[in-house]
Structure 1
Amino acid sequence: MSDPFRLQLLKQIGSADELSVLRSLRDQVQERMVALLPERGVEQFYVEMNEVHDAFIKRVIVLAEADMARRGKGSPPVPYAYLLFGSGGREEQTLSSDQDSGIVYEDPRNDEDAVRCRDYFNDLALWIVESLQKIGYPPCDGNVLSSNADWRLSLSEWKERLNGWFEEPAWESVRYLLIVADGRCLYGKQELVKGLKDHFYSDYINTPVIVKRMLDNTLRHKVLLGVFGHLLKEQYGEDAGSLDIKYGAYIPMVNSIRLLAIQANLKMTSTLERIKGLHAEAQLSDEEAEELSEAFRLFLKLRLMTTEKTENGLYSNNGKLSGRKLTKELADELKSGLKLGKKLQRRVYRQTVSRL
């Protein structure tokens, strides 16, 4: 990263001791990133943007540990890892970002240690989630949060939870499994996350019944391209005339590439890295990998264009792009990308059904 201004801001984030300072720095970083957007390639922009989000979250975790010690609760009783899920796990966060998180910690030695671990990580997670909310990261609507005991477990408990989800192929169980597939270690002991992910893939291989359920989940969002090659716009409400870039372009490709990666036993989480991995494993040809990467970069670019600044100085988006922002050139590119998305979904369907 060559931008001296951003380097200085990242240094300030890493040394900030007050949440008010972090909130102020977040405003500065966001304004700087908005200014840089026209100058950066979309992939580079996302790399730098996610580096900033990671820096804020890591700093809040460090402050949380320090506050726990000051309040007489000591240091973490066992090693642990803080995970990001969703777009954070995939390193695809935009200027706006909510919290999707979890904790995995080393197995306690006995029942007494288990109680200490539960109490410590409960308090730590609450501090982290509440503090991140104060500096501008709202909690996940689905409560996939480290402060939720269902997403804060020891490694053995996580493995039992995964087993249960694989054995009960209900819609919610499959959704949770796909969330875990996107998880990455942001802070702490990487080996714990590796152990969790290794168990995930072992269960997947040994539980073929889950494959059909994952396929159903993966294909539930259709690309916003009609049978005659026209763009499908929102018909009603305040978003009438807009295009649902998030659920009509971005998410369908994220979901399809993720399922192909899971089937190929690839454990990276970024969609572009998954495409590279599938290419390296000869699952995608040179041409397919290049075309899918370019289409996905376009979807990332259009997703950024759906972001609006809110009254509180932060950014948010509903994934809807106003038709007024779409030039003819962009519309033609989007149609081409969506055709690839449709083709990809058909491929995922055929490939997955052949495994059943």
Structure 2
Amino acid sequence: MSDPGGAQLLSRIGSADDIAALRSLRDEVHEQMEALLSEQPVEQFYAILNEAHDALIKRTIALAEADLARMGNSPPVPYAYLLFGSGGREEQTLSSDQDSGLIYDDPDDEAERETARQYFADLTQLIVETLQQVGYPPCEGNVISTNPDWCLSLSDWDNKLNGWFEEPDWERVRYLLIVADSRSIYGEDELLEKLKGLFFSDMLENPVIVRHMLNNTMRHKVLVGVFGQLLRERYGEDAGSLDVKYGAYIPMVNAIRMMSIRAGLRETSTLARIHSLHLMGKLSADDASAYTEAFRLFMRLRLMATERSLDGMYMNNGKLSSRKLTKELTDQLKTGLRIGKKLQRRVFRQMNGMF
């Protein structure tokens, strides 16, 4: 946060010494950012907001470490705490769930391996429980650091990736795409770099993997009809609304991620990926500009989606009420969705050309 008030807030988060203080600061972040929603350019807004989310998560991890240290337990080996999903892409909205994992260095022997396994199981339990109290719900798909499948040593992660590569069914390829968006938020970043090295060295060797990745990438369709009409929710309490998350934002995230993986890019932010693809000559200046503007619009609309609170945690269903769609915004959205649809077709043609 570049302004003095924002810097002071980050400083207060960094020195918070208990859960109640962190929760109060999370609420303060939410209120301040809501007030800035209509004033800040969307990229600047997301940069400020995600810096605050990062600070809250980092402080939660530090406090969990300190709690275990008071009981005589310190990290037995270096580790890195990972964010996936929108957190990994630095695209979290005001409400964000926990998509997380952990990677730790390989212990020397079996006894130390068990000590490490138990320590990181205890640590992640503390982190996840505290983050829930701070207002971050756990991932509904159980992609979370308390799940032993997502809390592993480097060699176990290597084995896990190899297993996903060897039997790349739809679900395992979904996990590979999740790893592609991973970002280290705390600890030894080099551990994730080693994991990403293993990931990218094997990623596109197997055409079956590429085929499954393409199927996954194309799963969510852009919500614009053949006549340019918006495809709204038809039933239930959200009837008439537009699923901005899965009908606009996610299809574009998926398509740009697929292009980036094919190009060997390690950036995780969608806008950074578009920029790098242009610098590599994979996108023309006009295409990069069109994709950037469309994605900025989708990011802004995500911030306008329905917010709710459940058991003290911030939630968002990704649906945009028709009441918030002015004629000007609707026209912009239709243009953006047409660009997103063309992008999906482009990726489909390019990846099919590999087979």
Q: TM-score scaled by structure 1?
A: 0.98
Partner of 2:63: 63
Conserved 8 A contact 2:30-2:94: yes
Q: Give, as a single letter, the amino acid of the residue that structure 1 aligns with 2:84.
A: F
**3-state SS, counterpart of residue 232 of structure 1:** coil
State the 1:311 CA deviation.
Answer: 6.8
Contact 1:90/1:271 (<8 A) preserved: yes
Is the 8 Å Cα contact of residues 133 and 312 (structure 2) preserved in structure 1? no
Mapped to 1, the partners of 2:310 and 2:117 lie a distance apart of 38
CA distance in 2, matches of 1:86, 1:355: 27
Structure 2 unmatched ranges of 5 or more: none
State the 1:308 CA deviation: 2.0
Q: 1:25 to 1:254 in 2, by over 3 A?
A: same
Q: Distance in 1 between matches of 2:75 and 2:89?
A: 27
Greater CA drift, 337-346 or 3-12: 3-12
**Residue in 2 that maps onto 1:170:** 169
Give the aligned partner of residue 46 of structure 1.
46
Q: What secondary structure, in the 3-state scheme, does the structure 1 residue paired with 2:299 have? A: helix
Shift of 1:314: 5.4
- Superposed displacement of residue 307, structure 1: 3.7
1:89 aligns with 2:88: yes
Q: What corresponds to 1:103 in structure 2?
A: 102
Displacement of 1:203 in angstroms is 1.3
User: Root-mean-square deviation (CA), in Å?
Assistant: 1.1
The residue correspondences of 1:1-356 to structure 2 (distance < 5 A) are 1-73=1-73, 75-310=74-309, 315-356=314-355
Q: Which runs of 4+ in 1 moved over 4 A?
A: 311-314
User: How far apart in 2 are the matches of 1:206 and 1:239?
Assistant: 43
The answer to whether the 8 A contact 1:90-1:183 is kept is yes
Taking only the aligned residue pairs, the percentage that are identical comes to 65
What is the CA–CA distance in structure 1 between the aligned matches of 2:260 and 2:306, rounded to whole Å? 29
- The Cα of 1:312 is off from its aligned counterpart by 6.1
Query: TM-score when scaled to structure 2?
Result: 0.98
Is the contact made by 1:241 and 1:322 (CA closer than 8 Å) also made in structure 2?
A: yes
Q: Deviations over 1:319-352 (max 9, x none)?
A: 1111110011111110111111110011100100
Contact 1:22 1:56 (8 Å CA) reproduced: yes
CA contact (8 A) 2:98 2:137 kept: yes
Q: How far apart, in 1, do the equivalents of 2:310 and 2:194 lie?
A: 43
Q: When the two structures are aligned, how many residues end up with a matched partner?
A: 355
Report the CA distance between 1:38 and its aligned residue: 1.5
> Matches of 1:58 and 1:314 in 2, distance apart?
18
| Contact in 1 for aligned 2:137/2:314 (Cα 8 Å) | no
Amino acid at match of 2:217: T
Q: Distance in 2 between matches of 1:257 and 1:121?
A: 34
2:8 and 2:175 map into 1 onto residues whose CA distance is 38
* Unaligned ranges ≥5, structure 1: none
